[in-house]
Amino acid sequence: MARSKPVLIGECRFASKKEAGDFIRSVLYQYDIGQRVSEDDAEFLADLLQLHPEAPQKVGCGVRFFTVEQNEGSRGFWLTRTDGSMTDWSFLSCLTPPTPETEARAGFRTAVRSQVSAFRDALDTAPGRLCPITNERLTEANVHIDHDPSFEDLLDSFLRERGLALGEVAVLPTTDGSTTTELANDDLRTEWQSFHHRNARLRAVSIQANLSILRRRSSKP
């Protein structure tokens, strides 16, 4: 098994990306939404931001301060520039710069997010509904929506039918405040949405099942 490589963020050294990510999340979740981070944390975030693949564009004319804001489905770090403009930035992209494949996959997920949300909104989470994987009782707080077969298998089938490679699919350039990745080709987006609507089988599972058990299964060869 390959040993984890240390991560250096400014003067802070972490034994692995996981350790760095856990520390960054601890910073992220100690603030309320809309709260400005402390000077000490801002110094660390400024060092972290330098690792972002789009650091010059994000920094722009200079950073005045950092805040924690609500993104779509999660919270994240934002910055306010010296000219008053704001933008989001992903600490995950600082630790692992996105590839064309990961960007395209994110674009495909964004395209069908409304379908997944509609399925979740129509769920009956009355007492007695159980997760089919763990047998936990499902509630509004612990339910996740899973693809069965997996999202990856569904996307692979769609791409094979069209003779496309994932890394060849273009996404729109990022803009200030854009927290989602969008497919650049409108026709491809529409075709994928129709394919997903016809073929996706969605189910309600627990957070534990979706983020641990099922993820481990899908990662096996």
Q: Where exactly are the structural domains of the chain?
A: 7-95, 100-219
**What does the alpha-carbon distance between residue 122 and residue 110 come to, in Å, rounded to a whole number?**
19
**What does the alpha-carbon distance between residue 173 and residue 182 come to, in Å, rounded to a whole number?**
8
Q: Is residue 138 within 8 Å of 204, Cβ to Cβ?
A: yes
Residue from 69, 64, 61 nearest 89 by CA: 69
What does the pLDDT read at residue 211? 62
Burial class (CB in 10 A: 0-12, 13-18, 19+), 120: middle
Q: What is the CATH number of domain 7-95?
A: 3.10.450.40
pLDDT tens readout for residues 114-169: 999 999 888 765 556 788 888 888 887 788 888 988 999 999 999 999 999 999 99
pLDDT beneath 50, residues of the chain: 1, 213-214, 216-221
**What does the alpha-carbon distance between residue 219 and residue 45 come to, in Å, rounded to a whole number?**
32
**What does the alpha-carbon distance between residue 162 and residue 144 come to, in Å, rounded to a whole number?**
30
What does the pLDDT read at residue 218? 46
- How is residue 66 written in tokens? 């950092």
